[in-house]
Amino acid sequence: MIEDKIKSVISNVFNVSISDISEATSPDTLKNWNSLGHMNLVIALEEAFNINFKPEQIIEMNSYPLVICILKEVLN
């Protein structure tokens, strides 16, 4: 399931438990999700899914639900 793979990437990038990732997960809830952490997340997602995000998509990915939405958009 795509959500499970995304959670795994987020867990690895931000060093948090998968069980801590929810619909509320965002830079407001994860202390390591700062500008550098965000770029690390983008790179990790691009590598995990073998894709490239557009700059505007990278900016929009500011929560776990939006990451799912944008990733699905890129994959379709």
pLDDT at 61: 96
What mean pLDDT do residues 8-32 have?
96
**Is domain 2-75 classified as CATH 3.30.460.10?**
no
Secondary structure (DSSP) of 40-75: HHHHHHHHHHT----HHHHHH--SHHHHHHHHHHHH
Which tens digits make up the pLDDT trace of 21-74?
999 999 999 989 999 999 999 999 999 999 999 999 999 999 999 999 999 999
Identify the residue with better confidence: 1 or 43: 43
1 pLDDT tier (thresholds 50, 70, 90): confident
Q: How far is CA 12 from the centre of its chain?
A: 11
Instruction: Record the tokens describing residue 61, joined without a space.
Output: 């990915």
